[in-house]
Amino acid sequence: MMDPFVSALEELAEALLAGEDPEGALQDIAQEHDIPPPALRNRALRAFGPLESYRERQAELKKEREQTARRRDPVFAGASFLAAVASLNPRLSAEERQAEIERLAAEYDVDPAAHRDAIARLRRR
């Protein structure tokens, strides 16, 4: 038989990632799985750390994994950078747009000069 905590913790992780209230989700899931809420809370804290910041920490981890993947693959980094530039707000002033391009270049670890022609083509759309 499977440990009831395993599926309860999986459900709790999903609820936290979906932005549900940690305490409410914990109470509901503990009840569904016939687990005392304090026991589930203790297991969850050991597994996930502070429940209130779980979602933010997972988002940071995802961002770090994506950055690592981009560093390993310059073509992927360039494409990701250009996609981000393409989605910039068209109402930005030239200075704001240039500042955003510089910020994105740093975030994606690319040289914006290497993508000057592609950026110029994006602007004409």
- pLDDT tens-place string over residues 64-107: 898 888 888 989 899 999 999 999 999 999 999 999 999 999 98
Does residue 30 belong to any structural domain of this protein? yes
Q: Answer yes or no: do 52 and 88 share one domain.
A: no
Q: Answer yes or no: do 119 and 84 share one domain.
A: yes
Does residue 83 belong to any structural domain of this protein? yes
Domain count, the chain: 2
Q: Answer yes or no: do 82 and 39 share one domain.
A: no
Q: Answer yes or no: do 52 and 8 share one domain.
A: yes
Does residue 41 belong to any structural domain of this protein? yes
pTM, rounded to two decimals: 0.60
Does residue 65 belong to any structural domain of this protein? no
Query: What's the rounded Cα separation, in Å, for the pair 82 and 14?
Result: 32
Does residue 47 belong to any structural domain of this protein? yes
Ranges of beta strands (E only) in 6-107 are none
Burial class (CB in 10 A: 0-12, 13-18, 19+), 55: middle
Does residue 68 belong to any structural domain of this protein? no
Phi, psi at 3, each rounded to 5°: -60, 125
Does residue 49 belong to any structural domain of this protein? yes
- pLDDT tens-place string over residues 41-68: 999 999 999 999 999 999 999 988 988 8
Does residue 66 belong to any structural domain of this protein? no
Query: What's the rounded Cα separation, in Å, for the pair 89 and 75?
Result: 24
Instruction: Give the domain extent around 78.
Output: 73-124
